[in-house]
Amino acid sequence: GCSGSTEPAGSEDASAQSSASAETVGSESSGAASAAGNYPRGNGDDTLKIGFACMDMSNTFHATVAKYFEQECANRGIECMVLDDKFDGTTATENCQLICDSDCDVYVSVMGFMVGDTLSDICKEAGVLAIGMDQPIPDFPFFGADNVTAGYSAGEALAEAAIEKWGENPTIDLYIGLESLAGAEINDARMHEGMLEGIRSKVEVPDEIYVQCDVTNNDSQVAMRWVEDTINAHPEAEHILIGGFVDDSGQGAEAVIEKLGYQDKALIGTVDGSTLAINNFKNPDTAWVCSAALLPEMYGYYMLETLEPYLKGETDELPDSWNVPPVVITKDDYEQVLTDSIIYDDYQVG
Amino acid sequence: MEDVKANRIKGKRFHMTSAWSTFFVWIVICAIMAVLSPYFLSVKNFLSIAQYSAITGALAVGMTIVIVGGGIDISVGSVVTLVGMVLAAIMPASGSVPLMIIAALAIGVACGLANGLLVTKLNIVPFVVTLGTMEIFKGLAFLTTRGVNTPFNNLDFAAIGRGYSFGQIPNSFIIMLCMIVVGAFLLKMTPFGKKIFAVGSNATASKLAGINIKKIKLSTYIICGICAAIAGLISTSQNSAGLTNSGDGAELNAIAGAVLGGASLAGGSGSMVGTLIGVLLLNTITNGLNLLGVSSYWQLVAQGAILVFAVIVDSFKHKS
Amino acid sequence: MKTKPLILNKKKFEFTSTHLLLIVFAIVFVVFTVMIPDKFFTGKNFMTIAKYSSVFGLIGIGMTFIIIGGEIDLSVAYIVGLSSMVMGTMLQTIDNVVLVAAAGILVGLVCGIFNGFVITKLRLPAFVVTIGTGQMFNGFAQLINNRPQIQFSNDLFREFSKINVFGVIPLPFIILLAVAVLTWFVLKYTVFGRCVYAVGSNKPASRLAGINAAKTNAFTFAISGFLCGIASFMVTSQNGSGIAAAASGAEMDAISAAVLGGASLAGGKGSIIGTLVGVFLLRIISNGMNLMNIETYWQMVLQGSLLIAAVIMDSVKNNKDD
Amino acid sequence: MSELLKLKGISKEFPGVKALQNVDLELNRGEVLALLGENGAGKSTLLKIISGVYLPDAGEIYVDGEKKNFKIPADAAAEGIGIIYQELSYYDELTVAENIFVGKLPKANRIKVDWKEMNRRAKEILARLNVQIDPRALVKTLSTAEKQLVEIAKALASDTKILIMDEPTSALNDAEVKSLIEQTRKLAGEGIGVIFISHRLEELFAVADRIQIMRDGKRIDSFSMKDATPEKLVQLMVGREIKDMYPKGEIKKGDVVLEVKHLKNKTLKDISFSVRAGEILGVFGLMGAGRTEMCKAIFGASKLQEGEILMHGKPVKIHSVEDAKKAKIAYLPNDRKKEGLILSQSVKENFASAVIDRYTKGKGFIVDKKRVDRNADKWIKKLNVSTPSGDTVVETLSGGNQQKVVVGKWLETSPDVIILNEPTRGIDVGAKVEIYKLIEELCQEGMAVVMVSSEQAEVLSLTDRAIVLCEGRLTGELCCDDYTQERLMEYAIGGGA
Ligand SMILES: Nc1ncnc2c1ncn2[C@@H]1O[C@H](COP(=O)(O)OP(=O)(O)OP(=O)(O)O)[C@@H](O)[C@H]1O
Ligand SMILES: Nc1ncnc2c1ncn2[C@@H]1O[C@H](COP(=O)(O)OP(=O)(O)OP(=O)(O)O)[C@@H](O)[C@H]1O
Ligand SMILES: [Mg+2]
Ligand SMILES: [Mg+2]
């Protein structure tokens, strides 16, 4: 198989990279508040209250994060307010204000890549601790998926699958990147620094064969059209790699590969690790071989494990950055890997 | 008398209809694409265009009927999403394809009925009604699976959107063509269709001619709901999953297709053949730009410009 | 023979949709106040609502002009986005805040004029044209940097939206009120304003009466574009970054607000006050539901239902007149 | 007398119609010129050329001896040409005062509209026309007749040298017509040149100095009104002699077909009457009397709060137009453009629109195109509709021919009773006579006819019996010796009963 989940080199590399970048963000602008743990710690009353601004509740990944986040808060007796940023900077700013107005102790948001400075300002003014989830909010700690690592390990796994299928040093004729340009920095980290570099660490992918497709809103239909049209425009391509920003793109790509009968000529790898990927892995014939699971179910757990003691004053140390460790799942190992990674009893694979 | 005769012949001179001017634009676009991309002019590629036109086409059939009747329905995209989510949710319990189809159609009828009743019984502007129901249906869709994409494995069901018949003709396209034919028959040949045109052109006069305008309008929304449900079926089947964003923006494509094909938002005009050409035009543009690997930002600009260009071409027929 | 003159129209209090809307508004307000008094009925919260209503208020006012003139504009959100990206990009290199703001507003104005020109000069259906131009503006917005958003660090520019007049009232809200008063005057008291109503009410007749209908409509698009430019300035300052989707969905919000406020998509009807109440109603509903921590999916259902409920009452009133 | 306006050799062609061929026209200062011609003769087209709506294909326009080239209506307005169009062009959502001054709103300073001044002046003008409408009222709340009055006020509002009125009286009652004529004469006395179109000859005799007759897009003749007699005018206009304007054959009346008892709703206050087979019942009243409302209520197009409707002695429940159609009631609306026709559709589609369900084959699912065509041909011939073909869009027909289409559409439903609401409004004499004949024929075939009219002469000559409404009440029923112009008016203003 193309197991990449335990590949040490890539993941360590990338996680080091990302924590470094988060640290830089922290230290470069927070001048006075440089020491770890020197963050606001809430308004002093007994009950803890977290304001969670979900990036987009109509998006499976973020809706899942929100659901388990709420659940984890409930388990720990923390009050939780969930708002929907609707993938919109303007709404995010307003929601941030609303959360600060509502006497929350912590504000959590993914929208840092769009309106980070402003979110930071609002929270500082209100004396509320902000956490940049997946995307840093300047002067505040970072928590979340490590997109570079996730993309990198998915890329490696995809390349390994290619080697297994087409032999040592396979010539890749076409690489289709199903990307979300609206995701800006996330997209860069996951798809370029991550996935593309990951693939290139094992096989050669020259720039000329890289077709970047913007799958706006991560729409499976749009992905289908891009893949089919691009393959039609490269009829000579025998070895095709397809990388997907999320599983929705993989779903569309897989549909086209099956339609064109290209199972021998194409391989798909994505980042997400959602039920869409798992469902496809159940079928041995699919071209979709791997997906880096970001474990949205575990976000709440990992965040609160570190955050709760700090808020409760049990510790004065709050790291500048901590992560959810991504894992790569493949046809062979997805069940095992996921059951190992997700601690909830009610969680069932697929 | 002689004058009258001469005039009569002149009166019959050829008038370019909207459908024709859109057809003309389509041909021009095809010619340009054919020059720019060697892969454009192939049966395979046109079949691909056909397949991906199916969803917009199915929606546009219903939309044309509603628009001809003087209404509009912008909730269709949400119906597509709703159908997808509900089907994906019940798929594990029931793998039967006919049951899926019945469930989808039932959702379509229910949504169309809701829109239609609000428009006719309570006399509310259709734009506002469907703006409201658009949110409601979408909310309901997300509530079914709490905003989570839900895949399924059902090869029989997948054949609806992905399979072929008669060699290489995509099933989804065949479904859409059937809908176009039925729609054209309905509009052109039946008393019902004549009444839709009458109601769309002048509701007061139609009412005083003894046409039950509420019934006619209600029917157009139900038909539109059914068409949206079929579009949802195709989309769900092509995706093999209920996806939260499968219907996003679909209503605008459907309206654009219908209007490019000659339907007037004021009601009382429009044709199925025109709509078919309008939908094909929209999808050919996307296909061509994809083949050329044009960046999506430029695609937005190009699609917008071509849309404006098409209406400009159409406006020349009014001037001449 | 002297006939008895007919007096059908005594000037009496007429219950208009604006009154109805005010009642709905009051009900919603009271409901939230009773249910979540400590969260909703606070000065802080009102100021938050006021501040974040301003952007949509301005867009709504522009849309009201266009709708009264019998047209529609589905590209407003993308005009705001394009202008926002232009400002965000300029701020990377230019420190002159006034220059950047002026450029942003100019972009809005130019987009509005472009829409107006294409629609009125070539006599094209506004609905399709603005879907098309909207896509174009959106494309251009993202092409500037090959990015859909760009953050900037000009503090002075960001400061603008934080200014509170008399220490409490957000400046954007003051601007909204000023624009509202000005546009109310324009619509009610200027020849141009009355021409907008005339053109929207009966376009062919206006042409016969020697009103330049095309120019009037074109002007409404320009006004809307200009207001979108100002809105974009406000939202860009608020967000601290240029965002192509800064006002995503604003066209629907603006149309809903205008229609709630009594505007008719057939043209000839609508008012600034109505639209503003509509804007605040929509904002307050979403604010209140957020504070009550209602799941966003239920919020969608409720918001759609409320929109319909508001117009149902209006139509029931109208039906009685039949 | 000096020449104010002169047209030379004007021609205009529409697709399929030569609307005007080499037409001349002269108008002097202080003169009222009547323009007379059958429906479709080209009168309105000629006026629209004068006011700059249409560009002529050929010909010249001189104002005060200077050659003019009107490209848009504003050009003509700048030369002091004011016009009331045949199609009312009002603004529903604006106030009465604004409607009157639209295009030239009085300003307080450079930008501000002076509402006070505008309302005051509007009130003045309306008072001159002897109407009391609140200038601040929205026009959408007015009745058709009131709207027409506002249109006339509009034309009087500006400083016009040349005033053109295309059928200004078609919605007015006699008193209003009279004051309009007075007003027109006064304006002429002030030196304004007036062109006045009407199909009512007695009005023309009262108002005009000179008359120009048109037929088939050509100028036939023009002479002083002193030399005119009704017979001469009619003959010139239709190109043949018309002897009996109103046919009055003796028809045997049958049983009561339609009977209504105690109709009540928001407008109607207890109305009862009956009509027999072969009888024409006149319905007279001033504007807003509730005649239209009564018709619509019987026809199921308006709600009834109380009341009973009987057909052939049996009560029928009518809640919708379909119910009325089933009960064999037909209704010809007074506003044919808004309520009678689907303007953008073809003649044959309009003929079929009330019976489309019957013109089917294949178990009722498919429209039988041949039958639709045959039906249209039948009615075009029978009613003598002048149209290039059944495929012509009905909008391009002249008023009279449009009216015939509406009549044909309803006759095809083979009703037992037909309610005609102002069937001859805005129709030329020739077409009028044809419609009268048709009504007569219908009676002979045993149909019962209810005819609403604002023309006293028409009611008196065509019917033996009439009911009169005033403010929604039935104020009287007239027949036999009572049946005079004076009594009609007396009841109409609420006197009498
Ligand atoms: N816009 C148009 N397009 C095509 N044909 C037209 C148009 N306007 C008028 N016509 C035709 O021109 C002819 C003259 O019409 P016009 O309206 O001038 O008659 P009219 O004398 O005013 O009749 P009426 O007394 O019924 O008002 C008619 O045959 C009519 O059908
Ligand atoms: N007192 C009134 N107040 C308000 N509206 C009235 C009043 N009287 C009549 N109307 C309006 O006028 C209508 C009744 O007039 P209707 O049109 O039936 O009269 P009509 O005799 O046919 O006159 P017209 O010549 O104007 O057609 C009603 O629909 C009503 O809306
Ligand atoms: Mg005429
Ligand atoms: Mg009437």
- Least confident segment among A4-8, B142-146, C203-207: A4-8
Distance A56 CA to ligand 2 centre (A): 56
Q: Which two tokens stand for residue B79?
A: 């119906």
Q: What pLDDT shows up at residue A96?
A: 92
- Residue D98 with chain C: CB contacts under 8 Å: 194, 197-198
User: Distance from C198 to chain B by nearest Cα, in Å?
Assistant: 19
Q: What is the pLDDT of residue A45?
A: 59
Tell me the mean pLDDT in the region B288-314: 79
Tell me: do D209 and D349 sit in the same domain. no
Q: Record the tokens describing residue A236, joined without a space.
A: 């000579």
What is the mean pLDDT of the segment spanning A147-159? Answer: 91
Give the pLDDT score at D244. Answer: 62
pLDDT at residue D298 is higher than 50: yes
Residues D265 and D170 in one domain: no
Task: Kindly state the percentage of chain A with pLDDT values over 70.
Answer: 86
Q: Which of C89-98, C149-158, C291-300, D420-429: highest mean pLDDT?
A: C89-98
The residue ranking higher by pLDDT, D211 or D480, is D211
CB of D141 sitting under 6 A from ligand 2 = no
Contact B116, C295 (CB under 8 A): no
> Mean of the per-residue pLDDT values for chain B?
85
- Residue-range definition of the domain harbouring residue D152: 3-238
b/e per residue, C148-159, with b = 16+ CB within 10 A?
bbbbbebeebbe
D92 & D27 share domain: yes
Which DSSP helix (H) or strand (E) runs through A136? Answer: none
Residue A128, helix vs strand vs coil: coil
Residue D290 beta carbon below 6 angstroms from any ligand 2 atom: yes
- Ligand 3 centre distance from Cα of residue D398 (Å): 7
The answer to whether C122 faces chain D, any CB pair under 8 Å, is no
Angle (CA) D77-D83-D88 rounded to 5° is 125
Spell out the SS3 assignment of chain D.
CCEEEEEEEEEEEECCEEEEEEEEEEEECCCEEEEEECCCCCHHHHHHHHCCCCCCCEEEEEECCEEECCCCHHHHHHCCEEEECCCCCCCCCCEHHHHHHCCCCCECCCCEECHHHHHHHHHHHHHHCCCCCCCCCEHHHCCHHHHHHHHHHHHHHCCCCEEEEECCCCCCCHHHHHHHHHHHHHHHHCCCEEEEECCCHHHHHHHCCEEEEEECCEEEEEEEHHHCCHHHHHHHHHCCCCCCCCCCCCCCCCCEEEEEEEEECCCCEEEEEEEECCCEEEEEECCCCCHHHHHHHHCCCCCCCEEEEEECCEEECCCCHHHHHHCCEEEECCCHHHHHCCCCCEHHHHHHCCCCCCCEECCCCEECHHHHHHHHHHHHHHCCCCCCCCCCEHHHCCHHHHHHHHHHHHHCCCCCEEEEECCCCCCCHHHHHHHHHHHHHHHHCCCEEEEECCCHHHHHHHCCEEEEEECCEEEEEEEHHHCCHHHHHHHHCCCCC
pLDDT exceeding 70 applies to what percent of chain C? 91
Residue A8 pLDDT more than 60? no
Task: Please report which confidence band the pLDDT of residue B3 belongs to, taking 50, 70 and 90 as the band edges.
Answer: very low
Whether the pLDDT of residue C217 is over 90: the answer is yes
What is the predicted pLDDT for the residue at C55? 92
- Residue count of chain B, please give it: 320
Q: Which ligand is nearest to the CA of D429?
A: 1
DSSP-derived secondary structure letter, B137? H
Q: What pLDDT does residue D288 have?
A: 73
CA distance B119 to chain C (A): 10
* Separation between Cα atoms, residue B157 and residue B232, nearest integer Å: 13
For residue C190, pLDDT beyond 60: yes
For residue B307, pLDDT beyond 50: yes
**Rounded to whole angstroms, how far apart are CA atoms C145 and C241?**
13
Q: In this structure, are residues D73 and D53 in contact, taking their beta carbons and an 8 Å threshold?
A: yes
Judged by a CB distance cut-off of 8 A, whether residue A98 touches chain C is yes
Sorted by where each begins, the domain ranges of chain B are: 2-29+43-319
**Of B223-227, C29-33, D445-449, which has the strongest mean pLDDT?**
B223-227
Assign A241 a pLDDT band (cuts: 50, 70, 90): very high
**Mean pLDDT lowest for which of C58-62, C252-256, D230-234?**
D230-234
Q: Work out the percent of chain A whose per-residue pLDDT is above 90.
A: 24
Q: How confident is the model at residue A9 (pLDDT cuts 50, 70, 90)?
A: very low
Nearest by CB: B190 against D340, D345, D366:
D366
DSSP B140: H
Does some domain include residue D418? yes
Residues of D with CB under 8 A from a CB of B: 15-18, 299, 301, 320-322, 324-325, 331, 333, 338-345, 349, 352-354, 356-357, 359-360, 364-367, 388-389, 392, 409, 413
pLDDT score, position C264: 81
The answer to whether residues D231 and D335 belong to one domain is no
CATH number of the domain enclosing D124: 3.40.50.300
User: Which of C238, C285, C287, C299 best tests the A interface by mutation, with the highest count of A CBs <10 A?
Assistant: C238
Report the number of distinct structural domains present in chain D.
2
pTM: predicted TM-score of the whole model, two decimal places: 0.81
Q: C235: which chain A residues are within 8 Å (Cβ-Cβ)?
A: 90
Check residues D459 and A34 and name the one with the higher pLDDT.
D459
Q: Which of B22-31, B229-238, D85-94 has the lowest mean pLDDT?
A: D85-94
* pLDDT(D372) > 60: yes
- The pLDDT-based confidence of C185 (bands split at 50, 70, 90) is very high
Q: Which residue has the higher pLDDT, A29 or B75?
A: B75
pLDDT (average), residues A127-132? 91
Task: Report chain D's terminal Cα–Cα distance, integer Å.
Answer: 52
User: Is the confidence at residue A310, as pLDDT, over 90?
Assistant: no
Residue B154 touches chain A, beta carbons under 8 Å: no
Q: Do B140 and C138 touch (CB under 8 A)?
A: no
Residues D225 and D305 in one domain: no
**Substitution candidate for ligand 2 out of D140, D143, D339 with most atoms within 8 A of CB:** D143
| Domain B2-29+43-319, CATH class in plain words | mainly alpha
> Quick check: CB of D143 below 6 Å from ligand 2?
yes
| Euclidean distance between CA atoms C166 and C156, whole angstroms | 19
CA distance C208 to chain D (A): 6
Lowest mean pLDDT among A32-36, C222-226, D471-475: A32-36
Q: How far is A116 from chain C (nearest CA, A)?
A: 8
Question: Residue C95: pLDDT band by 50, 70, 90 thresholds?
Answer: confident
Name the more confident of C22 and B113. Answer: B113
**Ligand 2 within 6 A of CB of D297:** no
- Top-confidence residue, D123 or D38: D123
Each residue of C36-67: pLDDT tens digit? 888 888 888 888 888 889 999 999 999 999 99
Contact residues of ligand 1, CB 6 A cut-off: D 14, 17, 19, 37, 39-45, 86, 396-400, 428
ipTM over 0.85: no
pLDDT of residue C85: 94
3-state secondary structure of C32: helix
The per-residue pLDDT for range A256-303, each reduced to its tens digit, is 898 888 988 999 999 988 888 888 888 888 899 999 988 888 899 999
What tens digit of pLDDT does each residue of A177-230 get? 999 887 777 888 899 999 999 999 989 889 888 998 888 776 888 898 899 999
- The average pLDDT across C240-269 equals 86
C315 touches chain A (CB under 8 A): no
Please provide the average confidence, as pLDDT, over all residues in chain A. 82
In this predicted structure, what is the pLDDT of residue B181? 95
Query: Is D430 a member of any domain?
Result: yes
The yes-or-no verdict on residue C8 having pLDDT over 50 is no
Ligand closest in space to the Cα of D301: 2
pLDDT confidence of residue A1: 30
pLDDT digit string, tens, across residues A37-59: 567 766 555 688 899 999 888 88
C6 pLDDT tier (thresholds 50, 70, 90): very low
Q: What is the pLDDT of residues D447-459, one digit of tens each?
A: 899 999 887 778 8
DSSP C242: E
Closest CA to B263 of B189, B194, B201: B201
Question: Quick one: pLDDT at residue D161?
Answer: 86
